[in-house]
Structure 1
Amino acid sequence: MSKLITIDGNTIPFEEGQTIMEAATAAGVYIPHLCHHPEFTPHGSCKLCTVKVNGRTCSACTFPAVDGQDVLNNTQELTDDRRLITQMLFVEGNHFCPSCEKTGNCQLQAVAYHLNMLDNHFPLFYPNRELDASHAEVMIDHNRCIFCTLCVRASQQKDGKDVFAISGRGLNKHLIVNAQSGLLKDTDIEATDQAAHICPTGAILIKRTAYQVPIGERIYDHQQIDQVSLASENSQHDK
């Protein structure tokens, strides 16, 4: 007998061991997220995928699907909370979309559009963050880091390296690299590493590749993030 959960009143089958996020994605139901990636261990850091499960608030990417669960995903309350989280991500960093080479390919930007985020709501923090362009092929713009840990997990779980980590807490939280000098050039990262390509914002970039795809012809210029995310993640699941 199939195991079933309901999401916003719709019956969704799932396989043993799947999370709510995995079950939803397989069924074509989009749950907004930034730190989730189907290839890596769930982390639950961005909290955008927060849903209500039998009245309890949970992260869909980490919470297991259990037969008979009643999940609320697409409610006004959750949409408002997700918009506030996204607004906080924008003001806690230095995200200037019109001048960013990742615009149109940026998941943070696309999520903001999906949630109909029209302003920042909160005062901008304008943190003093540096840019590390010391590496010959890869650079880090710390202004755009949202601490999703995707680069950390990709480096460890896919590349077999340990290039990145998150250090500090609160306003002192920052992305660090595994080098005594603290510079990317002294790590063993390569431009072909998954960790160099997985950033959902423009924090980690491959040098000399900016604007090769013109603005207006980029991923989210023509498709909403829910369409892109569901197609991409189900494709990776089928491999």
Structure 2
Amino acid sequence: MRWRPRGSSPAATTNGRIWRPIERKIHEPPRHQDTKCHQETVLGAPWCLGVLAARGPVLSAGTFTLDGRAIPFEEGQTILDAAAAAGVDIPHLCHLPGLAPHGSCKLCTVSIGGRLGAACTNRAAAGMTVESETAELNAHRLTLVQMLFVEGNHFCPSCEKSGACRLQETARRLGMTTPHFTHFFPARDLDASHPDVVLERNRCILCELCVRASRDVDGKNVFAIGGRGIRARLIVNSASGRLADTALSANDRAVDVCPTGAILRKRVGFAVPIGRRPYDRHDIALSLPTRRGEGAGGG
């Protein structure tokens, strides 16, 4: 999802409140790529989940304040990566350590000294004051997530990525229970032509992680974004437009980076039981009542 020019569309509403983030100037300094950032693996998909492995002795360039907490950072490190290294997860969908920052989902928007900016593209600086967990910013994030859910077909209970989906976890974290906007019900093609990988475009949120991973890591340039606005789609770079006619391999990095269930390996669905998935908070059996209305652990 991308910001539109001011005045191009009505402001989105949530809970009777109008949010107009496009009316503020967002300061974004030059982007950079941190190719040395360690990646934590979740079901084969690397994610920066708030705890990054140490990379040896590195001198801190200073500290900045994030929601009242002092966060150390290295020279050239972004606010998002520095926060993650300190164990603080700023909501995001289009960022992955090792890939060039993109700044497209805008979920990581924070207040930097009173100005809005994407935490994944703004570099940390000594003494800066950053706010992330505010009512206004979380209302903005909730609106964006609500829009992502209705722009695609996301049926979490039956999805193979349920419990390991970054979009699902972000919605839960922001308190989303039901969609706020009218569903678009897009008619996007499903591509199951590849022997090992399936592409379900109805779950794609256009984060371009697979585009960047295929181009910058795999060196194959399998994916791209075609169309504009609501007609934007993930496309396949082949003469036929089908995955089967590309050099994509099931072992490619591009197959592992999707934050939703748009790109999946075949024959490995629902491999991890409930309670052990990356975003499961506790065993579901502990929270379900018995037929008599008593807790599962009750007598």
TM-score by length of 2: 0.72
User: Which is greater in Rg?
Assistant: 2
1:182 aligns with 2:241: yes
Kindly provide the amino acid, as one letter, of the partner of residue 153 in structure 2.
Answer: N
Q: Which has the higher contact order (CA 8 A, sep 6+)?
A: 1
Structure 2 spans left out of the alignment, 5+ residues = 1-59, 283-299
Q: Deviations over 1:70-89 (max 9, x none)?
A: 10111111111111111110
Shift of residue 217 of structure 1? 3.3
* 8 Å CA contact retained: 1:103, 1:109: yes
Match of 1:100 among 159, 166, 182: 159
Contact 2:163 2:278 in 1 (8 A): yes
Q: Residue 160 of structure 1: which of 204, 219, 227 is its match?
A: 219
Q: Which amino acid aligns with 1:29?
A: V
Q: 1:130-169 residue pairs with structure 2 within 5 A?
A: 130-169=189-228
- For the 8 Å contact 1:14–1:65, the answer to whether it is kept is yes
Distance 2:82 2:223 in 1: 30
Distance (whole Å) between structure 1 residues aligned to residue 268 and residue 167 of structure 2: 20
Superposed CA deviations along residues 86-125 of structure 1, whole A, max 9, x for unmatched, are 1110000011111211111111101111111111111111
- Aligned-residue sequence identity (percent) comes to 58
Q: Which has the higher helix share?
A: 1
Of 84, 101, 112, which residue of structure 2 is paired with 1:53? Answer: 112
1:16-40 residue CA offsets vs partner (Å, 9 max, x unmatched): 1011111111121210001110111
- Aligned counterpart in structure 2 of residue 29 of structure 1, from 88, 100, 105: 88
- Residues 103 and 215 in structure 1, CA contact (< 8 A), matched pair in contact too: no
> Do residues 67 (structure 1) and 126 (structure 2) align?
yes
Unaligned runs of 5+ in 1: 224-239
Q: Distance in 2 between matches of 1:208 and 1:3?
A: 48
Residues 66 and 212 of structure 1: CA distance in aligned 2, closer, same or farther (over 3 Å): same
| 1:198 equivalent in alignment to 2:257 | yes
SS at match of 2:280: helix
- Count of equivalent residues: 223
Distance 1:82 1:118 in 2: 14
